[in-house]
Amino acid sequence: MKADKEIRLTFHNRGLRSYIEVDLCGECPRQDDKGCCGHYSPVFYSTDLAYLALNQPDLLDLIFIQPHLTILDASVTVNNEIDGSSYRCRFHKREGGCLLEQQERESVCRHFVCPGINWQQEPALESWQRFFEGLEDYEIALHARIAQRLEDEGLTLRNPGTRDKFFEVLRDIYVEETRVIPEFIAKQARDQEVLLLRPLSYGEEWELFYKAHK
Ligand code: SF4
């Protein structure tokens, strides 16, 4: 029989750097010291790269020195490494978890909550569900606009020789494009903490992947 556990979720509205904190991660039911970060390769889009360029430029160096990057015109994927029977994100350490602070992570890392918690089923959290859906659409559209403007300037991340110029122009475009805060962000609460009671299972029985609807 599965035992119920009280799980604390904290939603943080920080615009494009919003995130969901889950206190269960510290004692992940997967019990493999990596949980969801054992299956994911973070993808940093132009919006993430611009934030880092403006606030933590040293982390851009950390990203670009990683082995096995997939570099596209305006995004970079830090491919994970094989670790036992699964993988491990290159930023995940056995001791202490992710090296990056929440706001430095890319969107999937900031928004993901494992399906066993399924917070989206709570009617009281509907405004947060709409908020994170809106954020995803906003970020995709913003990335597309920024990527197009960089392309128009003849700049691509694929060319290491013009990378400094790329980030210089990216910073300016990002500041200009994000000057007006969308209404759905401005009117959402800044933070909210909730407690949810959920039955836990352990090891591979604790699912990390959302099943596709039939
Ligand atoms: S960047 Fe951090 S949160 Fe994202 S997969 Fe890697 S270790 Fe996990």
**3-class state of residue 51 by DSSP:** helix
pLDDT at 203 over 60: yes
pLDDT at 56 over 50: yes
Distance 98 CA to ligand 1 centre (A): 5
Mean residue pLDDT across the chain: 95
Distance 21 CA to ligand 1 centre (A): 13
Partnered with residue 44 across adjacent β-strands are 76
Phi, psi of 23 (to 5 degrees): -75, -10
Residue appearing with tokens 């906003």: 138
Report the pLDDT value the prediction gives residue 211, as an integer from 0 to 100: 67
CB 35 less than 6 A from any atom of ligand 1 = no
Report the pLDDT value the prediction gives residue 3, as an integer from 0 to 100: 79
The residue whose CB lies within 8 Å of the most ligand 1 atoms, and thus the one to mutate among 44, 52, 89, is 89
Report the pLDDT value the prediction gives residue 86, as an integer from 0 to 100: 85
Which tens digit of pLDDT belongs to each residue from 112-126?
Answer: 999 999 999 999 999
Q: Would you kindly state where each structural domain of the chain is located, as residue ranges?
A: 13-205
Q: pLDDT grade, residue 94 (50/70/90)? A: confident
Which H helix or E strand runs over 92? Answer: strand 92-93
Ligand 1, residue 108: give the atom nearest the CA: 4
Whole-number percent of the chain with pLDDT over 90: 90
pLDDT at 7 over 70: yes
pLDDT: which is higher, 2 or 50:
50
pLDDT at 53 over 80: yes
Report the pLDDT value the prediction gives residue 210, as an integer from 0 to 100: 74
Distance 111 CA to ligand 1 centre (A): 11
Q: What is the mean pLDDT of residues 16-41?
A: 94
The residue whose CB lies within 8 Å of the most ligand 1 atoms, and thus the one to mutate among 21, 34, 92, 111, is 92
Report the pLDDT value the prediction gives residue 212, as an integer from 0 to 100: 59
Give the single-character DSSP code of 16: B
CA distance 84 to 168: 40
What does the block give as tokens for 146? 């920024």
142 contacts 178 by C-beta, under 8 angstroms: yes
CB 17 less than 6 A from any atom of ligand 1 = no
pLDDT at 214 over 50: no
Q: What is the mean pLDDT of residues 50-70?
A: 98
